[in-house]
Amino acid sequence: MRIVLISTPIGYLGSGKGGGVELTLNSLVSGLLSLGHSVEVIAPENSKLHKNNEKAKLYCVEGKDQISWQHQNYDSPVIIPDNSLLVGMLEKGLDIAKQADVLLNMSYDWLPIWMTQIVEKPFAHIISMGNESSVVSNLISKVYAKHPYNFAFHSKIQANDYPFIKKPTIIGNGFKLDNYIFQDAVNGPLAWVGRVAPEKGLEDAVYVANELGEKLKVWGVKEDETYALKIEKSFPQGTIDWMGFVSTNELQVELGKCRVLLNTPKWNEAYGNVVVEALACGVPVVAYKRGGPSEIIQHDQTGYLADPDDKKNMLSYVKIIERIKRKKCREWVEKNASTDIFANKVVNWLNKVIKEYKSK
């Protein structure tokens, strides 16, 4: 198959601003290449693919980022800036897709989904967020009525956010296991990983660390500086150990030394890459029972699921984290979320999308 992949129009690949989509895209490229498919990636200027993905052709496009939907009101209209990056990436995609079998879109936005109705090529969409926008959700509903195969979701819980999707295609996610080394570090520090933004609920993890009289190691882009500062000021100085945004390789070495990852989203997380990355290193996870993480973590086996927003409940699980066998965490990832498993699911799905177009 020849696949044209369109990245997120928020931040270049490697910036961290695109969140989990950046890693998902690289995992997918790697899995598709190893299955023998040809992949062309369209991404913002300055983007880099992970090494070993060099066989994929990368086209970089210059332009102005979209505003992420989780930081707009649910009823906000679609905004397309002058010199729009999204428009530029779609134009490039259409241009090179002439020779391709399918266009695969990874940006959560209105325009690419709308184009499904007018573009001759099969146009498939990996929906990377829950229902964050009425205009996007209503459009998915409309397009889904005509093209029911064209949408895939990372988790069942995420797909439930779109009640009109009757039989959702669930593709999970994939992780290159060689990039994560298992560590049996039962006495390490507490970890938190993610974009530092209100929907990620960092304050609840800092609360847990403070109650235990420990530091919390925090990795990720400070997307919202004011929010980061506000949390820092609400707790004793030094409770947060800011580690910055680092490469997957650096992240996994340090994360693997931690005894637990705290995952505290306040929104319906579509999947939760960082949860699986921790498990891949052997680090159990305590998360709120909400969104993708509640489908990934096996309560009592690979971590614990606390009642949503109940930080005391979360604290009680962190206190008994040594009961979790770290080997089981790694095993879950090997059996459920390798790049090969992920790419195979995506290929099966894309074959259905292409077949549907051919039958029309």
Task: Please name the residues in contact with 333: beta carbons below 8 A apart, sequence gap of 6 or more.
Answer: 175, 177, 180, 276, 279, 280
Give the rounded distance of the alpha carbon of 186 from its chain centre.
27
Task: Please name the residues in contact with 331: beta carbons below 8 A apart, sequence gap of 6 or more.
Answer: none
Question: Does residue 89 contact residue 7 with C-beta atoms inside 8 Å?
Answer: yes
Using rule CB under 6 A, residue 290 touches ligand UDP: no
Nearer to ligand UDP, 154 or 326 (CB): 154
Binding mask 181-210 for ligand UDP (x = CB under 6 A): ------------xxx---------------
- Amino acid at residue number 259: R
Among 110, 175, 245, 288, interactor with ligand UDP by CB under 6 A = 245
Q: How crowded is residue 159: how many other Cβ atoms within 10 Å of its Cβ? A: 20
Give Cα separations from 194 to 8, 43, 68, 186, 234 (angstroms): 17, 22, 16, 22, 20
Question: Does residue 259 contact residue 283 with C-beta atoms inside 8 Å?
Answer: yes
Map the footprint of ligand UDP across residues 81-140, applying CB under 6 A. none
Give min distance, CB of 274 to ligand UDP, in A: 4
Question: Does residue 148 contact residue 130 with C-beta atoms inside 8 Å?
Answer: no
Q: Which stretch binds ligand UDP (CB under 6 A): 14-22, 26-34, 75-83, 84-92?
A: 14-22
Nearer to ligand UDP, 88 or 201 (CB): 201
Map the footprint of ligand UDP across residues 222-241, applying CB under 6 A. none
Report the distance separating Cα 64 and Cα 208, nearest Å: 39
Nearer to ligand UDP, 90 or 285 (CB): 285
Give min distance, CB of 221 to ligand UDP, in A: 7
Using rule CB under 6 A, residue 23 touches ligand UDP: yes
Which of 291, 336, 342, 293 is CA-nearest to residue 129? 291
Using rule CB under 6 A, residue 217 touches ligand UDP: no
Give the rounded distance of the alpha carbon of 13 from its chain centre.
13
Among 53, 273, 302, 338, interactor with ligand UDP by CB under 6 A = 273
List strands edge to edge, sheet with 190-193: 240-244, 216-219, 190-193, 260-263, 285-288, 303-306
Among 277, 306, 315, 329, interactor with ligand UDP by CB under 6 A = 277
Q: Supply 331's token pair.
A: 């095993």
Using rule CB under 6 A, residue 303 touches ligand UDP: no
Using rule CB under 6 A, residue 354 touches ligand UDP: no
Report the distance separating Cα 320 and Cα 21, nearest Å: 32
Among 20, 174, 201, 303, interactor with ligand UDP by CB under 6 A = 20
Nearer to ligand UDP, 195 or 259 (CB): 195
Using rule CB under 6 A, residue 25 touches ligand UDP: no
Nearer to ligand UDP, 116 or 264 (CB): 264
Nearer to ligand UDP, 116 or 268 (CB): 268
Using rule CB under 6 A, residue 274 touches ligand UDP: yes
Residue in the block written with tokens 């150990």? 241
Nearer to ligand UDP, 296 or 353 (CB): 296
Q: 3-state DSSP helix/strand/coil percent for the chain, to nearest 5?
A: 40, 15, 40
Using rule CB under 6 A, residue 253 touches ligand UDP: no
Using rule CB under 6 A, residue 220 touches ligand UDP: yes
Using rule CB under 6 A, residue 172 touches ligand UDP: no
Interacting residues toward ligand UDP by CB under 6 A: 16, 19-20, 23, 193-195, 219-220, 245-246, 248, 251, 271-274, 277
